[in-house]
Amino acid sequence: MRLRSPRQTSLRQRLSIGLGTMLVPFLLLAGGALISFEGAIDSFEKQENVGLEELFPLARIEGLLLDISGVVNSGSTDSEAVSVAYFEQTSTDIHYNFKIILTRPSQLPERNESIYRIREKWHELEKLGLEILESKNKSNNTYGLPKVPDFQRKLQEILQNVQELNYRLIAFQNAENLRQAQLVRERVRSLVAIIFLLALTIAIICAYALSRSILIPLYHLQEGVKYLGEGNFKYRIKLRIQDEFAHLADTFNIMAESLEQSQTDLERLATLDGLTEVYNRREFNRWLSVEVEQSRRDDHPVSLIMVDIDHFKQLNDTYGHQAGDKALCCVAQLLRKEVRPGDIVSRYGGEEFAVILPKAKIEDCSAVAHRIRREIAIQPIRISSEVRIHLTASLGLATFPTDVKSEEALLRRADQALYQAKKMGRNRACLAAEVLRSSSG
C-alpha cells in the first residue's frame, strides 16, 4: 500500500494520527516492562557466558606460552626444523586467541589495553624465540644461547601479566554480578521515567506539528483576508498542503481573481469611453490637470489638440448612427496610432476628441496635428461591406505656457482655435496664435 505524503493528508487524518501516536508510550510501557524482567534474568546468564568467553582464551594463551618455553629451552639439536615449525604453529594459535579476545566485547575498561600490551610483548618474545631456534640450525650453536635467559625473563613477565589480567577479570565478573542485581531494581524505575519523558516528548512534537499544520494555513488565510480588505485583489494564497485549508485557499483565490477582474472592469468603465476605448471626459480632465501641474513644476511645455470631425451630423443623417459610431471608432484608432508614445488621447464629447501632448512645443504639436489631419482625410472609413466614405477633421492647437498661463485658458484657447479652423473652411489645423493675430487684425 502506497503511503500518502503528510501534505496530502486531510486535517481529520492528521488529528487521528496525532492522537494515535500519543498512545504509543503506553504500549511501549507494557512491552518494556515484560522485556525488562525477561532481560534481567537473561543478563545473569549472559554475564557468566561472557566471563567464560574471556577467561578461556587467556588460559589457552597461558598454556601455549608454557609449550613454547619448552621448545626454546630444549637442548636437543636433532630436530631443530621440527622445533621451528612447532614454534610457528604455536605462535599462530596464540595470535588466534589474541584475536578472539579482542573481537569479543568486555565490560572491563582496561582489558583491551592490557591485551594490547601483552600482545606487544608477545611479538618481541616471538621474534626472539625464532632467532634462538634459527641460530641452533647454524654450525655455530652458541649464537643464540646468550639470548635464552632474556627469552625466559620476558616469558615470565608475559605469564605474570596474563595471570594478573585473569585475576582482574574474575574479580570484575563477581563485582559485575552484584552490580547487575542492583540494576534490575533501577531499571524498572528508569523505565517508568523514560516512558514518561517519551510520552511528554511525543505529545509536544505532535502538538507542535498539529498546531503548525493548522496555524500556518490560518495565518495565510488571515493575511489573504487582510490584503483583500485593503483592496489588494492581486494577492493569492499558496499552500503546500492538500487538505481542507487548501480548498479554502483555492476558493479564496477564485474569489480574489473574480474581484480583481471586476475591479479592472470598473476601472476600465470609469476611465475609458465605452465606444472608442480611449480615455473619457472625466479622465481627460484629470490628465490635463496633472500635465499642466507637471509643466509648471519642471518648466517644460504641454500642448493640447482639439479634434472635431467635420459634418458629423450629416454622416449620421445619411448613413445612420451605427455608421457614426464606426466612424468615431476608426478616428479614435487613427489618433492612437499617429500620436507620440506617451501622448494622451481622449473623447471630449460627441464627435470631438482631445489629445494632450506632454513636453511638446508648438512646433511638435503642429507636426502631430497636421499628420492627424492628413491621415483622417486619406483613410477611408468602412461603413459596410459596400460603403466606404472619407472624412475630414478640424483641429485646434494651444500650448502652455507659450499661449496661455492656466489650464482653463489652455482648453479655451484650443477650443477657439478649433472654431477658427471650422470658420476657415474645415479640414485644417489652426494654432491659438493665429486666432490672436486674426482677432487683433
What's the whole-number average pLDDT of the chain? 79
Same domain, 178 and 31: yes
Same domain, 203 and 319: no
- The answer to the question of residue 387 being in a domain is yes
Say whether pLDDT at 315 is over 50: yes
Same domain, 177 and 285: no
**Which of 339, 337, 336 shows the shortest CA–CA distance to 360?**
339
CATH code assigned at 83? 1.20.120.1730
**Which of 418, 436, 19, 7 shows the shortest CA–CA distance to 207?**
19
**Which of 185, 15, 425, 89 shows the shortest CA–CA distance to 81?**
89
Task: Give the end of a domain, one of 208, 230, 254.
Answer: 208
- The answer to the question of residue 254 being in a domain is no
Give yes or no for a contact between 324 and 315, defined as CB atoms under 8 angstroms apart.
yes
Q: Model confidence over 281-309: pLDDT tens digits?
A: 999 999 999 999 999 999 999 999 999 99
pLDDT of residue 333: 94
Residue ranges making up the domain that contains 380: 281-440
Task: Give the end of a domain, one of 166, 185, 208.
Answer: 208
C-alpha cell read off for 131:
632467532
CATH code assigned at 398? 3.30.70.270
Same domain, 41 and 152: yes
pLDDT of residue 80: 58
Count how many domains the chain has.
Answer: 2
- The answer to the question of residue 309 being in a domain is yes
19: buried, middle or exposed (CB in 10 Å: 19+, 13-18, 0-12)? exposed
- The answer to the question of residue 216 being in a domain is no
Tell me which amino acid residue 284 is: F
Same domain, 59 and 172: yes
Same domain, 181 and 293: no
Say whether pLDDT at 2 is over 50: no
- The answer to the question of residue 215 being in a domain is no
Q: Model confidence over 205-262: pLDDT tens digits?
A: 777 777 777 777 777 778 878 877 777 777 787 777 766 777 777 887 888 788 777 7
DSSP state of 3: P
Task: Give the end of a domain, one of 208, 232, 251.
Answer: 208
Same domain, 46 and 181: yes
Q: Any idea how long the chain is?
A: 441
Say whether pLDDT at 128 is over 90: no
Tell whether the torsion through CA atoms of 329, 333, 335 and 341 is positive or negative: positive
